[in-house]
Amino acid sequence: MYNALATIDEKAVAHSRYATYSYETDRYNRARLGFYFSIIQEAAGVHAAIRGLSITDMREEGKTWVITRNITTVHRYARWGEVVSVKTWAAAPIRLHLPRIIEGYDKEGELLFRTTTLWAILDIETGRPQRPQDYSSRMTLPDPGDADHPTTLTLPKPIHKEEDLVLVDRTAVVPTYDDTDRNLHVNNLSYLNWALGALPSRFRDQYNTCLIDVSFLRQTFLGDELAVCTWAHGEEVFEAKEPALFHQIIRTEGDGGETVVWEGSSHWKLREAFRP
């Protein structure tokens, strides 16, 4: 079944294609960042499924996949109707992390986006991360000498919020049934949509994201009381030439305390600064 969605070549690189439908575009007929995040999730999932490591397969072993980090650089946003050609491969484990690279290209072979993701394997019963070496060998990696598909990566530094940032917005969000996925928690794409949805419309009209780096720190579920916080060096950030923002999603706990469940930074450019 999954072989109809992607192919894996002799270098252990998975290839797939995704059409940019109108419902994946914004008011300027350009792909939303959420579309690229959807591709990232789907390409990784299909590749794992072909190798017998889908979430369904993993749950039969009492395990599941979760994403812990996403670092995406965007070079261009696809237009409505464009087909995005995607290739992805797994990299060598780093501690308890399984890295993966995903790249999206247009029909001319020009890079649209490049993503490095980190994944963890959790024991469903205990919630504890599992050692990933066995799963990495089952996935199959490109040859270490393949310079086009590197498998030896460096673990990115943890994300930290700068102390001098000021809160420019706090917006409450309520998880709905449609935010949840097969793991019964809020899907990673919802966090991105909440963070971007909290930004001013005028700002989104003028700018688009060129780099985003986010960490998934805690699982959230239906009934959680959440808020999206946007931080910057001041309100003037929404008029800067190349704005930089910091985002957090915070859960209010039963005792009134707060826990950061998702956080990261985003860098923006004027829409006209992107490649046509």
Tell me the pLDDT tens digit for each residue of 199-229.
Answer: 999 999 999 999 999 999 999 999 999 999 9
Q: Which amino acid is at 105?
A: Y
For the chain, what percent of residues have pLDDT higher than 70?
Answer: 100
For the chain, percent of residues with pLDDT exceeding 90: 96
pLDDT of 1 strictly over 80: no
What pLDDT does 259 receive?
Answer: 98
Q: What is the pLDDT of residues 66-124, one digit of tens each?
A: 999 999 999 999 999 999 999 999 999 999 999 999 999 999 999 999 999 999 999 99
**DSSP 8-state assignment for residue 271:** G
Taking a C-beta distance cutoff of 8 angstroms, is the pair 84, 106 a contact?
A: yes
Cα–Cα distance for residue pair 50/47, rounded to 1 Å: 5
Q: Where are the domains of the chain?
A: 2-139, 166-273
Q: Compute the distance between CA of residue 78 and CA of residue 229 in angstroms, rounded to an integer.
A: 29
The CATH number of 2-139 is: 3.10.129.10
State the Cα–Cα distance between residues 264 and 209, nearest whole angstrom.
13
Q: Which residues pair with 84 in a beta bridge?
A: 18
Q: Give the CATH H-level superfamily of domain 166-273.
A: Hotdog Thioesterase (3.10.129.10)
Two domains, one topology: 2-139 and 166-273: yes
Residue that has been written with the tokens 């050692």 in this structure: 131
Residues contacting 236, CB < 8 A, separation 6+: none
Q: What's the CA gap between 103 and 173, in Å, rounded?
A: 31
